[in-house]
Chains A and B, each alone.
Chain A
Amino acid sequence: MAGLMAGYGHYTHAVVRGISASMAKEALRSSQSEVVDLAKARREHEVYVEVLRTRLGLEVIELPADETFPDCVFVEDAAVVCGDTALITRPGAESRRRETEAMKGALKDLNLNIVEMTDENATLDGGDVLFTGREFFVGLSKRTNQRGAEILADAFKDYAVSTVPVVEGLHLKSCCSMGGPGLIIIGSSEAAQKALKIMQQMSDHRYDKMTVPDDVAANCIYMNLPNKGHVLLHNTAEEFPESAKVFEKLKDHMLIPVPNAEMVKVDGSLTCLSVLINKKANI
C-alpha cells in the first residue's frame, strides 16, 4: 500500500560515506578534550556499514570520503529523505556546505525527487530533523534556522513541521531519536526533557517516551524491516552501560549494539552516519 505514512521505519537503501583522514584533527567538535583514534573510528564505521548491509540487508551506497570535508562521514546532515523526496540541505557549518554535492548525486541516482535548499538565508542540518512517521520536528540550533525549517516544511507538505529550540548539544537528535512508531527515545538531561515536552505539546499525536540516562545514547536508529520486525541500532553497553540496560526493555525489538565511541568524540552519533531510504515506498 502506498498510503501516506505507511511503514514507518522501512528502509531499503542506505547512503554512507567514508571517514576523511582529516576528521580526527579538523572535524568540527564541541569539545576538544579527547583525541580521536582514526583507525578505531574506521573500524567502528566498518562495523556500522556491515550491520546495515549484511545484518539488515540494506543496499548500502558508500560514498568515498573527501579529504576537504573532515565531517563528510556524517552524511545525515546533508540530506533529509522522506518517502520519495530528498531535501538536499544547506548545512549550517560553512565548511560543510559542499558535502551535499556527492549526496545529491547519490540520491539522484536512486530516482528520488530532489529538492534543494538554495535560499542563502536558510540553514539546516539533517541532524536537527526528527521524523516520527507522522510529522517532523526540526530543532532550531546553531546549525539550523527557521528558514531552513520552512523549506523543509515546503518540501514535505504532507506533514506537520514543528520547530523545537535546541538549547544544548549540537543537534536536536543529539539527545533523542525514534525508537519505534510513536516511541521517542530521549536523554535524561534537562534540555532533552524540555525538548521532549515541547514536542509533545506541539503534536497532535501521542508519543511514548523512553528515557535513557545518557543523551548521546538516546540517538539510535530504528527500522522496521521485513522478516526482522523492529530493529534498533544503539550504542554499546561498553560505552553507555546504563542506557544499554534501558534498551533491554524493548522486548519486541531486535537490539543491535553498534560501537561508536570515536565518532562521539566529534559529536557524531549513530544516525549521523547514514541516510536511510525506502525505495519501495516510491511508487
Chain B
Amino acid sequence: MTTEAGSETEVKEKAEESAAQLDQSEKASGKPEEVANAEQEEKEQEKEKEGKGISRYLPSWLKKQKSQSQTSPTKEVLPAEEAVSKVTQEEEGPAPEVNGHAEEVEEKEAVKSEQVQTKEAESNSNAIADTEPAKEESAMKSPEEANETTQGDKAVEQKKELEEKVKTEREGGGEGQMSIFPSPLRLVRKTKMKLVVCQVALLDGTDFTCEVEKRAKGQYLFFKVCEHLNLLEKDYFGLTYKDSHEQKCWLDPTKEIKRQIRSNNWQFAFNVKFYPPDPSLLTEDITRYLLCLQLREDVACGRLPCSFVTHALLGSYILQAEFGDYDPDQPQPLDYISHLTSEPNQNKEMEEKILELHKSHRGMTPAQADAQFLENAKKLSMYGVDLHHAKDSDGVDIMLGVCANGLLVYKDKLRINRFAWPKILKVSYKRTNFYIKIRPGETEQFESTVGFKLQNHRSAKRLWKVCVENHTFFRLNAPEPPTKARFLTLGSKFRYSGRTQAQTRLASSLIDRPAPSFERTPSKRISRSLDGEPMISITEMGRDMAENGREPRLELHSDSKDLDKTQDEVLKHQASISQLKRSFMEAPPPSPPQPNQWEKRLTSSPAAVIRIQQQQQQVVSVPQTEASAADNMISESNEPAKTTEVEIEETVVIQEVSKATKPGFVTITSSSPVGPPAEQETRKQEMKVEEEVVIAVEEKVVKQESVSSESESEDEAEYHPNVPISISHTQISEVEEEEEQQEKEEDEVAEHDVSVPGALTLPVAGQPAKEASEEIEESRTEDAEAEKKMTSADEKEREHKAEESTDDPLMTPEEAPSSVSLPEEPVAELVSSAEEEEEHKMNGESSLVEEEPQPQVICCSEPPVVKTEMVTISDTFAAQKTEIATKEVPIVHTETKTITYEAAQLDGNGDDEPGVLMTAQTITSESLCTTTTTHITKTLKGGLSETRIEKRIVITGDCDIDHDQALAQAIKEAKEQHPDMSVTRVVVHKETELTEEEED
C-alpha cells in the first residue's frame, strides 16, 4: 500500500516535473515522507471508514481533495472510476525505499484489474463496502489533479509553486489542512470542477439528490446511493435511466454517466437488478426491505402479475411490516386502499381481504413480514423476469424474459419455450437480431441457433446485455472481465463487471455490523404508484400494496419526476404483457451470425490484464488462438494515441473448468507464443514490428476509458454463457448444475482463466503469458516493418480474413482440449519472461519525455471534425462512432489541430488486422494522461503467419504540452522496450476547447 501511494504520486509528479523540466532531485527528496504520510493517513482513513466515517458523507468535492492525499493508495478499492486512466498500484509489499525511485516503483507496479481488487476486498473482509467509495474518489481525483496542474503548467513558475503546494498538502495530509490552505490549486480546482446534480428515485418513492462530477462513472453515483441507503448487499441493485427513446436502461457502473445518458437528464432510479431467487438467503433485513419495495412497485405496475388473493396476501404483509399488528382503531390503511384501485368494486373487496389477512399476522415483526412477503412473491412466475418485446422468425410478437434460470419465451402470457442457461451456448446480437445458440439435446447432433427480431438494435443490444449480466450474475462464480479492447472491435465488449451472486453471497456473509435500523416509510411511494395506476390493466389491484403506506395525495405533487418515470414503466410493462400476439417461436435460426468468427471476440480488458500479472502460473496459452480474437477489435481511434505495434504469433487459450467436474483445479499451460503448434510448424513466421505513435495534446484530459466505452460497437456482439470463449482472460466456471456439462466449443477460440472454483477465487490471469510471448516474439523478430495505417474498410476485410485463417487451427481438439491443461511449451519460461516484460512495459508506459526523432513522415492537417472527448480517429469502424460523437458534441469554439506523423515505409499490403488487446493502462500524472494499449494481431497469409503487436500510447494533457518532446520521448521509450519496432503513425491532435459546458 505504501508503495502504491508513493508510486502514484510519483508518477504524477514525475510527469509533471519532466514536463516542466524541473530538477529531478527535488522530487526524490519529497517522496519518502509522502509515502509515510500516505500510509498513515490511509490507515486512519480506513478506521474512519469502518466506523462509518463522516468523510463518506462529505461533499464529493471535499472528499476528492482528501482523497488526493489519503485515499488514492487504498487498495481494496473497487473499480475505480478512473481505473484505466491511472496506473493502478496494487502490489503490496514493496518496501518504502523503492518509492524514492520513481522508475523502480513504476516497474513494480502491477496493474490489477478492478475485479481483482474487488475480490481481494471481498475476501479481506466486510470493510469492502466502506472502502469502495474511497476508491472512487481517489479515482476521480486524478483527472482533476491533472487539470489543475496542467493549468498551472502554463507558466512554469506557477507550476512549480503549485507543485510545492501539492506536496505540502500531501505531506500535511489531512483534509482539514487542505481546506485551511486556500492554495491556488484549490482555487483552480473549484473553478474547474463541474458538478452535476443527479436525482435518483429511490424505491420508497423519495428522491435522492446528490452532486457528482460531470465525468463521474455510474459506479460513483451508485455507491453514493447505496451509502445513502445504508445498503451493503448492493450487488442485487442498480441504477436505471431513460434513454433518448424512453427506454429504461441500466447505468453501466464502469462507464461515465454522461456518456450513457446522452442527454442532460440526470435522473435515475434505484432498482433491483438481479432478483435473488431465494431472498431468505440475503444477509440483511434492509436488503430484503428494499427488495420488498421493488416488488411492491412491480406488482403495482403490473410487471409482476399476481392473483387477487396473492395480491391481498402481499398487501397484508406490507401492512404488518409498516403498521404492526392489526389495530381496528387505526383505520388509516383503509384510506389508501380506497384510493388505489381502478376498479372500485374490487378495491373494496381487496381492502377487506387485506385487513382480514392482516389480522392473521398478529405478532409478526416487520422483518418477518417482509420475509413472508418475499416468500410469496418469489414464487410468482414472473418474479425477476425481465421482459423484452421481440418477434420470432415468423414475425410474430413474443416476449423474451430474462431471469436467473435462463431465457423464457412468452406469447400472450403463455410460456412457449424456455432456454435454461446451461442449454445456451452463446447469446449474440447483430443489428436488430438477437440469437441464442442452443446446446444440442441428447438426441440431436448439432447445435441450433434461434433468432429473434427486436424492435431495433438498441433493444437487441439491451437484451443481450441483460442476458450477459444475468447469466454472469447467477451462473458464474466470478465475472468475466469486461473486454476492454476497442481496437478493431466489431462488437460490444460489454461484460458484467460486478460481483456475481456467489461472490456477493460470500461477501455478505462477512458483513459484520449490527443490523442497521431503517424506517419503513411508505409515504412517498404512494404518489408514484398512484401515478402508475391509470394505466394498469393487468393487475388491477397492484397499487394497493404500494400505497398502503400513507396518504397518497399528499405526496402526489412532491415528486413529479418519479411519477413520470413510473408512468413510463407502467406503460412499457403493460404493453409488454398485453400486446403479445400469437405465433410460434422456435424459429429456425435465420442464418446464424458467423459463429466462428464472432466467438473469438473477447479481448482482455485492462482489468483482465492486471489480474493476469498477478497470477502468472495460471495462464494457459495456445498459439494461434489469440490472433483470431484480435480480429474483431476496432482500433480505438477516438484518442490520440501512440501505438507500438509488434507482430507476434501468440495465442492464449484458456479453458473453462466446470466447477462441478474439477473442483479446485487450476491449470496453466502455456505454449511459446512464437512456436507454432504442431500443425503450424511448417509455417514460416514473419514478424513485423510496428509502432504507431500518436500523441495528442488536448486542452482537457481525456479519459481513455470513457472513450472506449463509447466506441463500443452497437451493431453486434456475442457472449458465450457457458463457455467463455475467446480471449478474455476470464475465469468462467459455471455454478454446478447437473445437466450442465463442462464444455468447450470446439469451433471457437476459448480463452479462459481457469481458477479455483471457490466462489471468490481470484480470476486467473492470462496476461503474463501474453506478455511473455510478446517478449519472445520481439526477440525473434526478424523483420521490422512499418505498416501503413489502415482504412477502416480494409481493416474489416482483414479482420475477416484473419478470423478465417485462424479459425481452423482452433477447432482442432488438440489445441483446445476440454481438459484442463494444455501441454505445450515451457510455462516457466513464459512466466518469467512475462514478468520481465511487464516491467518493461510499465516503464515504457510512464510518461517520460525524451527525445528521439523517429517519425518519418509528418503531415499536419486540420481535421474538420470537432471533437472534444474523442480526439483522433485513426482507423476502422471508429469512423462511425466518431460521427456520432461529433454530432453529439456541439462545441462552439474549438480549435483543433492534428498533426500526423506517419512512417515512410508503410506497406499497404493491407492484410488482416486481427487484434487482441494485451494491455491497456493509463497513467495519469498531473499534466499528462498516458494510456498505453497493447494489441496483438496475428494473421496468416499463405504459409506465413504474421503476428504483430501494436502498442498505442495516448498521451493527453490538458495544457500546452510540448508534443514534439512528448512524442519523441514516447517513441524512445517504446524503442527501448522493443528495439525492433517501428513507428507507423504519429498523430498530434490539439484541441482548444473554449466552451466547456457544451461538451457532453
Please list the residues of chain A having a beta carbon within 8 angstroms of any beta carbon in chain B.
2-5, 83-85, 113, 134-135, 138, 146-147, 149-150, 153-154, 156-163, 201-204, 282-283
CB-CB < 8 A to A138: which residues of B? 414
| Nearest CB in chain A to that of B416: its residue | A163
B357 pairs with A283, CB closer than 8 A = yes
16 residue pairs from A and B, CB less than 8 Å apart: A2-B309, A113-B308, A146-B414, A156-B307, A157-B306, A157-B539, A158-B305, A158-B380, A158-B381, A162-B414, A163-B414, A163-B416, A202-B418, A204-B403, A282-B309, A283-B353
Among A4, A85, A201, A283, the one with the most B-chain Cβ atoms within 10 Å of its Cβ is: A4
CB-CB < 8 A to A163: which residues of B? 414-416
A135 pairs with B381, CB closer than 8 A = yes
Within 8 A of A (CB), among B302-319: 305-310, 312-313
CB-CB < 8 A to B403: which residues of A? 204
B417 at the interface (CB under 8 A from A): yes
A158 pairs with B306, CB closer than 8 A = yes
A181 to chain B, nearest CB (A): 13
B347 to chain A, nearest CB (A): 15
CB-CB < 8 A to A161: which residues of B? 381, 413-415
CB-CB < 8 A to A135: which residues of B? 381
Q: A4-B376, A146-B582 are in contact. Are A202 and B306 (CB under 8 A)?
A: no
B448 at the interface (CB under 8 A from A): no
| Nearest CB in chain B to that of A156: its residue | B307
B305 pairs with A204, CB closer than 8 A = no
CB-CB < 8 A to A154: which residues of B? 413
CB-CB < 8 A to B306: which residues of A? 157-158
B307 pairs with A2, CB closer than 8 A = no
CB-CB < 8 A to A150: which residues of B? 412-414
CB-CB < 8 A to B415: which residues of A? 160-163, 202
CB-CB < 8 A to A113: which residues of B? 308
Could you tell me the distance between the alpha carbons of A156 and B307 in the complex, rounded to whole angstroms?
6
Could you tell me the distance between the alpha carbons of A84 and B539 in the complex, rounded to whole angstroms?
17
- Taking A83-B307, A85-B307, A157-B539 as given, write out 14 further A-B residue pairs in contact, using a Cβ cutoff of 8 Å, ordered by the A residue number: A2-B309, A2-B357, A3-B313, A3-B376, A4-B380, A146-B582, A156-B307, A158-B305, A158-B380, A160-B415, A161-B414, A162-B414, A162-B415, A202-B418
A268 to chain B, nearest CB (A): 27
CB-CB < 8 A to A160: which residues of B? 381-382, 415
CB-CB < 8 A to A134: which residues of B? 379
| Nearest CB in chain B to that of A204: its residue | B405
B413 pairs with A153, CB closer than 8 A = yes
CB-CB < 8 A to B309: which residues of A? 2, 83-85, 282-283
Number of chain B residues close to chain A: CB under 8 A: 32
Among B357, B376, B381, B582, the one with the most A-chain Cβ atoms within 10 Å of its Cβ is: B381
CB-CB < 8 A to A84: which residues of B? 309
| Nearest CB in chain A to that of B353: its residue | A283
CB-CB < 8 A to A283: which residues of B? 309, 312-313, 353, 356-357
Could you tell me the distance between the alpha carbons of A158 and B376 in the complex, rounded to whole angstroms?
10
Could you tell me the distance between the alpha carbons of A127 and B156 in the complex, rounded to whole angstroms?
88
> How many residue pairs, one in A and one in B, have C-beta atoms under 8 Å apart?
82
Produce 1/0 per residue, B400-438, CB < 8 A to A: 000101000001111111101000000000000000000
CB-CB < 8 A to B380: which residues of A? 4, 158
| Nearest CB in chain A to that of B304: its residue | A157
B375 at the interface (CB under 8 A from A): yes
CB-CB < 8 A to A3: which residues of B? 313, 372, 375-376
Describe B's contact surface by its main secondary structure: mixed
B418 pairs with A201, CB closer than 8 A = yes
B313 pairs with A202, CB closer than 8 A = no
Please list the residues of chain B having a beta carbon within 8 angstroms of any beta carbon in chain A.
305-310, 312-313, 353, 356-357, 360, 372, 375-376, 379-382, 403, 405, 411-418, 420, 539, 582
Q: A83-B307, A85-B307, A150-B413 are in contact. Are A4 and B418 (CB under 8 A)?
A: no
Among A3, A146, A157, the one with the most B-chain Cβ atoms within 10 Å of its Cβ is: A157
| Nearest CB in chain A to that of B582: its residue | A146
A107 to chain B, nearest CB (A): 16
Could you tell me the distance between the alpha carbons of A83 and B312 in the complex, rounded to whole angstroms?
14
Could you tell me the distance between the alpha carbons of A153 and B414 in the complex, rounded to whole angstroms?
7
B418 pairs with A158, CB closer than 8 A = no
B405 pairs with A4, CB closer than 8 A = no
A204 pairs with B418, CB closer than 8 A = yes
Could you tell me the distance between the alpha carbons of A188 and B547 in the complex, rounded to whole angstroms?
52
Could you tell me the distance between the alpha carbons of A201 and B412 in the complex, rounded to whole angstroms?
19
B85 to chain A, nearest CB (A): 43
Could you tell me the distance between the alpha carbons of A89 and B313 in the complex, rounded to whole angstroms?
27
B414 pairs with A5, CB closer than 8 A = no
Could you tell me the distance between the alpha carbons of A126 and B356 in the complex, rounded to whole angstroms?
32
Could you tell me the distance between the alpha carbons of A202 and B381 in the complex, rounded to whole angstroms?
12
A149 pairs with B414, CB closer than 8 A = yes
Could you tell me the distance between the alpha carbons of A161 and B413 in the complex, rounded to whole angstroms?
8
Could you tell me the distance between the alpha carbons of A71 and B560 in the complex, rounded to whole angstroms?
59
B742 to chain A, nearest CB (A): 21
B417 pairs with A202, CB closer than 8 A = yes
CB-CB < 8 A to B353: which residues of A? 283
A159 pairs with B376, CB closer than 8 A = no
CB-CB < 8 A to B413: which residues of A? 150, 153-154, 161
CB-CB < 8 A to A146: which residues of B? 411-412, 414, 582
B728 to chain A, nearest CB (A): 29
Could you tell me the distance between the alpha carbons of A117 and B595 in the complex, rounded to whole angstroms?
46
B387 to chain A, nearest CB (A): 13
CB-CB < 8 A to B307: which residues of A? 83, 85, 156-158
| Nearest CB in chain A to that of B578: its residue | A154
CB-CB < 8 A to B379: which residues of A? 4-5, 134, 158
Could you tell me the distance between the alpha carbons of A83 and B302 in the complex, rounded to whole angstroms?
21
CB-CB < 8 A to A204: which residues of B? 403, 405, 418
A159's contact among B372, B381, B418, by CB below 8 Å, is which?
B381
Could you tell me the distance between the alpha carbons of A159 and B307 in the complex, rounded to whole angstroms?
9
Among B353, B356, B413, B420, the one with the most A-chain Cβ atoms within 10 Å of its Cβ is: B413
Q: A157-B305, A158-B379, A283-B356 are in contact. Are A4 and B310 (CB under 8 A)?
A: yes
Could you tell me the distance between the alpha carbons of A201 and B405 in the complex, rounded to whole angstroms?
12
B616 to chain A, nearest CB (A): 41
Could you tell me the distance between the alpha carbons of A2 and B306 in the complex, rounded to whole angstroms?
15
A58 to chain B, nearest CB (A): 22
Could you tell me the distance between the alpha carbons of A44 and B418 in the complex, rounded to whole angstroms?
41
B737 to chain A, nearest CB (A): 11
Could you tell me the distance between the alpha carbons of A158 and B309 in the complex, rounded to whole angstroms?
9
Among A135, A201, A282, the one with the most B-chain Cβ atoms within 10 Å of its Cβ is: A201
Among B307, B308, B380, B412, the one with the most A-chain Cβ atoms within 10 Å of its Cβ is: B307
Could you tell me the distance between the alpha carbons of A161 and B375 in the complex, rounded to whole angstroms?
20
CB-CB < 8 A to B411: which residues of A? 146
Could you tell me the distance between the alpha carbons of A282 and B312 in the complex, rounded to whole angstroms?
12
| Nearest CB in chain B to that of A146: its residue | B582
Could you tell me the distance between the alpha carbons of A147 and B308 in the complex, rounded to whole angstroms?
22
A175 to chain B, nearest CB (A): 20
Could you tell me the distance between the alpha carbons of A138 and B415 in the complex, rounded to whole angstroms?
10
B313's contact among A4, A153, A157, by CB below 8 Å, is which?
A4
Could you tell me the distance between the alpha carbons of A153 and B539 in the complex, rounded to whole angstroms?
13
Could you tell me the distance between the alpha carbons of A158 and B413 in the complex, rounded to whole angstroms?
12
CB-CB < 8 A to A153: which residues of B? 412-414
B313 pairs with A2, CB closer than 8 A = yes
CB-CB < 8 A to B308: which residues of A? 85, 113
| Nearest CB in chain B to that of A155: its residue | B307
Could you tell me the distance between the alpha carbons of A134 and B417 in the complex, rounded to whole angstroms?
17
Could you tell me the distance between the alpha carbons of A211 and B935 in the complex, rounded to whole angstroms?
58
CB-CB < 8 A to B310: which residues of A? 4, 157-158
**What are the 6 A-B residue pairs with the smallest beta carbon separation, nearest first?**
A160-B381, A157-B305, A162-B415, A153-B413, A150-B412, A4-B376
CB-CB < 8 A to B376: which residues of A? 3-4
A203 pairs with B375, CB closer than 8 A = no
CB-CB < 8 A to A149: which residues of B? 414
| Nearest CB in chain B to that of A159: its residue | B381
Could you tell me the distance between the alpha carbons of A144 and B313 in the complex, rounded to whole angstroms?
32
Could you tell me the distance between the alpha carbons of A134 and B379 in the complex, rounded to whole angstroms?
8
Could you tell me the distance between the alpha carbons of A135 and B356 in the complex, rounded to whole angstroms?
27
